[in-house]
Amino acid sequence: MNDPRISHLADLLLDHSIGLKKGERILIKGHAASKPLMTELIDKTYERGGYPYIELLDDELGRHLSMGYEKEQLETQAAWALQRYKDVDAVIAVIAEENDAEMAEVPGEKFQLRGEVFKPVQEFYINNRRWVLLNYPTPALAQKAGMSTKAFTDFLLNVCTADYKKMEKAFAPLRELMEKTDRVRITSPGTDLSFSIKDIPAVPCAGEANIPDGEIYTAPVKDSVNGTITFNTPCPYRGVTYHNVSLTFEKGQIVKAYADQKEKLEEILNTDEGARYAGEFAIGVNPYILHPMGDILFDEKIGGSLHFTPGEAYEDADNGNRSSVHWDMVLIQREEYGGGEIYFDGVLVRKDGIFVPEELQGLNPEKLK
């Protein structure tokens, strides 16, 4: 028997996340393990009068391709991908990984080359198409979360079908406040970081582009970041997970970096000039995601967290930073993780993961659940 939550999730993706309309074309990308959801998406797209298209993903084949990437080869592949995105109205990407470290052996220069060639494709896709990205439960993902496959499946399906309409409404006063704010200060153990977000839009995320969701993001003014931020969660990137990451900024640039794999960290930060500047600052509020599992699609939404991102800025919250890197790093500020504060223009906005101003308290866990 099919799990009714998968059917409900398919409805959420089609109706809330991408708002599929009759006659529209939708590309459904996914790994083979996600076939139960992909099947529901195909059938329900037809029910709504849309036209579904399928692209199957395979990480093992992708690793073999990546090891030998050449620019001419990637340019052909990028042209195909761009045309595919031009031919559809919306995209749903369902990730069902079997091994998060599948790409760990791919040389950094191959990632960099692909990032450079595919950058126009990514920009078109993100900025010109309705899209949503989600993870599908697999044993590998359950292992990362430290759960049994059944327990993780229950967790993920329950989290993914949260009340995103309520979350969307609760974000409105925080968005308004952020767009009036100049100076931000973040304090936590090992962290005292300040920067400006003046005149940069704040973008609330409540189930439109990611499932699960629950963040609001902006970007620091590029040269305004000063101080140190120390992250208390694993920081995965390109198949490698880094621990105890600490970054020190001066006039916007990372001038000192530490992690348990410092050489690899420095290699990524030296990818290009923009990799040493921050492209995103975001606040996580999802009340059902409380602990890190080393998967950024979940970790960046953790209730009581924030993330700060070396690399590329998003076009809808743009500080002008350009890079082939976009690396979300998460700091949890709830009391059991050491606590911490966020100040906007000198006023305490969140303490130990709980919003203080009355107009923002709708984002606190007891109100969002």
CA angle 144, 148, 150 (to 5 degrees): 120
Would you call 269 helix, strand, or coil by DSSP?
helix
Q: Which candidate, 38, 39, 33, places its Cα nearest to that of 93?
A: 38
**Residue 343 pLDDT:** 98
**Token couple for 254:** 């990372």
| Residue ranges in the chain modelled with pLDDT below 50 | 1
Helix and strand numbers (H, E) in the chain are 11, 20
CA distances from 139 to 114, 237, 312 (A): 29, 20, 32
**Token couple for 164:** 């995103």
User: How far apart (Å, rounded) are the C-alpha atoms in residues 149 and 5?
Assistant: 16
Neighbours of 316 (CB within 10 A): 14
Domain definitions of the chain by residue range: 4-160, 164-368
**Residue 1 pLDDT:** 47
C-alpha 314 chain-centroid distance: 11
Helices 4-12 and 35-47 cross at an angle (nearest 10°) of 60
Write the class of the CATH domain 4-160: alpha beta
Neighbours of 43 (CB within 10 A): 12
pTM: 0.82
**Residue 103 pLDDT:** 86
